[in-house]
Amino acid sequence: MYTMGIDVGSASSKVVILKDGKDIIASEVVQVGTGSTGPARALELAYQKSGLTREDISFLVATGYGRFAFDDADKQISEISCHAKGIYFLVPSARTIIDIGGQDAKAIRLESNGSIKQFFMNDKCAAGTGRFLDVMARVLETTLDEMALLDEQATETAPISSTCTVFAESEVISSLSNGVSRNNIIKGVHLSVASRACGLAYRGGLEMDVVMTGGVAQNAGVVRAVAGVLKKEVIVAPNPQTTGALGAALFAYEAAQKR
């Protein structure tokens, strides 16, 4: 039995196809999200890779910001539930999940059976999200991929506030203008993102293991900053950008079995 999860995010589209609820046979990402060609392209890539068609998919669950705009789903489930499901499947010891996506950040507390105990989301603000990093990468004339490498070369951390993306952007421009090292600024940017995300995690009470997921978890600089703020070891989920889609595919498998 094949089931599919599609995570239609604000900044990217992710698709996972599962065989019998345990084997990942396709896991595709297209770096544009809801309202774009991203969802259709991610689906097409997943079908190509698996050699399957829509008719072969027993159940399809959509999640993410654009889940209700995706017409072809059998069911829509929130990304919080899907990330929790996906992470528990990959890392059963996870009790605290920090998920930083394109435009929101979440901290999710899990019970030992994988159910959600509590969750917190960021407020209506881009600070502490992937969008914040996008803005900073542009100002710093670098790419998201490069930022983690440049962070490693920093000699100290430039202070960047975590309250507002626009103010933080002007702080970065000011620091650049004052000759502060770009690498040090990048480290400060990562710390700013980490501070926001950890603030959410603290609200629910930290419990080990802490697992990071979402697109921003691919940035080792942010992961180091989160571990530094929490003073805890942080596990990065395998293929962190697709854990929401994986969770959706797992929910789809459960639903298909009940049919």
Interface residues with other proteins (CB under 8 A) are 65, 76-81, 104, 115-116, 118-119, 121, 123-124, 205
Beta bridge partners of 63: 7
**Identity of the residue, 108 or 150, whose beta carbon is nearer to other proteins in the bound complex:** 108
Spatial neighbors of 141 by CB under 8 A, at least 6 apart, are none
**Identity of the residue, 116 or 149, whose beta carbon is nearer to other proteins in the bound complex:** 116
What is the side-by-side order of every strand in the sheet holding 234-236? Answer: 116-121, 105-110, 96-100, 210-213, 234-236
- Minimum Å distance from CB 208 to other proteins? 18
Q: Choose among 128, 117, 135: nearest CA to 207.
A: 117
Q: Choose among 163, 219, 187: nearest CA to 175.
A: 187
What φ, ψ does residue 44 adopt, rounded to 5°? -60, -45
- Minimum Å distance from CB 162 to other proteins? 17
**Identity of the residue, 76 or 161, whose beta carbon is nearer to other proteins in the bound complex:** 76
- Minimum Å distance from CB 120 to other proteins? 8
- Minimum Å distance from CB 81 to other proteins? 4
**Identity of the residue, 158 or 200, whose beta carbon is nearer to other proteins in the bound complex:** 200
